[in-house]
Amino acid sequence: MLAVHRLTLSDFRCYSFLRLETDGRPVVLTGPNGAGKTNILEALSFLSPGRGFRRAKLSEVTRRGADEKAPWAVAALVDRPDDSPLEIGTGKEGGSERRLLRIDGSPARSQAALSEVVSLLWLIPAMDRLFLEGATGRRRFLDRLVLGFDPAHASRATAYEHAMRERTRLLKERRFDPSWLGVLEETMARHGAAMAEARKSTVARLNAACRQGIGPFPAAVLSVSGAVESLMDEFAPADAEDRFRQALAQGRRRDAEAGGAVEGPHRSDLQVRHGIKDLPAEQCSTGEQKAVLVAILLGQARAQADLRGLPPILLLDEIAAHLDQTRRAALFDELCALKAQSWLTGTDHSLFAELADRAQFFRVDDALVVAE
């Protein structure tokens, strides 16, 4: 299984130093609010590309009172099947907002390299409004799912966004050089079409996994909408890419007035329906929405295990909230059956009683972590 067997934090959030060792079973962290449970999960989320699941500025992560010249660091020993353990280290560069990354002692060229060696998914309380708020959060959630099947998705998204920013800068400056813009639009079309295709493929895999049924959790029905995705429905991938490139070229004046590209995969959205009730997720109750989210994550873990041979590491913050006892027990059974290392937090130890000795339990209180 893919598992973090040793996690070390230095000047990270409330921790001046923490060294935590696990054996691959689900890890349960219990304790009062504000004790530091979520901070441990956030540290783990930095083992994937991005700014962690809180999307905080790197300077905000450094422990208060810590030396700014030696800011926070996260290190992990990751065990992988059929391979040697992997050392990952990351942290903030002193005096800047630049994130440093080393894999097995060598500097990584980009954060996208993490997607090739570690796969993580998370469900946190901030996502409870995923279906009610704007498309940005849903798009980010979908792209996290895509990475589990297609690690190169992160590199494509980075290349697309870089070309889009450069094109936007030229348009704002009213520099309509067709050759320069043409190169950027070609890059956007190539990577944007690949992003859209990967998203559609992921949605198809997830729908197939959810149709199999996951205990008492409702089957989620997913779809992705957007200009490029619509082109993929009508045309072959190469033709869809070419039509997107033409649309960008024809829309230069419009995009200059709008302050950026009006159409593209950066504006796509994820739609989710409650399969049993055939209702949009945003029209379901809070508890039903949580159950749908859990179903998506479990479906992803199943599909990823089938495709890549192992499920992702799951970070489940306050996961027991809005789940009744039947669904909690079913969730724990599924996590154990998947053989996925999962990290769970909650204020009440009794909510995890069904796990018993199938999990490791730690008590967290005022940044002090003690095995139970």
Buried b / exposed e along 163-180 (16+ C-beta atoms within 10 A):
bbebbbebbeeeeeeeee
The pTM (predicted TM-score) of the whole model is: 0.92
Residue 176, phi then psi, degrees to nearest 5: -95, 50
Establish if 352 belongs to a structural domain.
yes
Q: What's residue 222's pLDDT?
A: 97
Confidence at residue 320, expressed as pLDDT on a 0 to 100 scale = 86
Of 130-139, 142-151, 255-264, 318-327, the poorest mean pLDDT is in 318-327
Residue 24 lies in a domain: yes
Please give the average per-residue pLDDT across 223-230, as a whole number.
Answer: 96
CA distance 238 to 228: 12
Give the CATH number, domain containing residue 355.
3.40.50.300
**pLDDT of residue 124 exceeding 90:** yes
- State which residues form the domain around 48: 1-119+312-372
**H helix or E strand, kind and range, residue 338:** helix 325-338
Answer yes or no: is 154 within a domain.
no
212: in domain: no
- Decide if 37 is inside a domain: yes
Average pLDDT, the chain: 94
Residue 146 has pLDDT above 80, yes or no: yes
DSSP classification of residue 49: S
The pLDDT confidence band at residue 97, using thresholds 50, 70 and 90, is confident
**225-245 average pLDDT score:** 96
Residue carrying the six token digits 């027990």: 329
Give 236-273 pLDDT, tens digit per residue.
999 999 999 999 999 999 999 999 999 999 999 999 99
Looking at the predicted structure, is the pLDDT value of residue 181 above 80? Answer: yes
Q: Is residue 268 part of a domain?
A: no
**pLDDT value for 132:** 94
Q: What is the mean pLDDT of residues 104-132?
A: 92
Let me know if residue 69 belongs to a domain: yes
Residue 11 included in any domain? yes
What's the number of domains the chain is made of?
1
pLDDT computed for residue 223 by the predictor: 97
User: In the 8-state DSSP scheme, what is residue 311?
Assistant: P
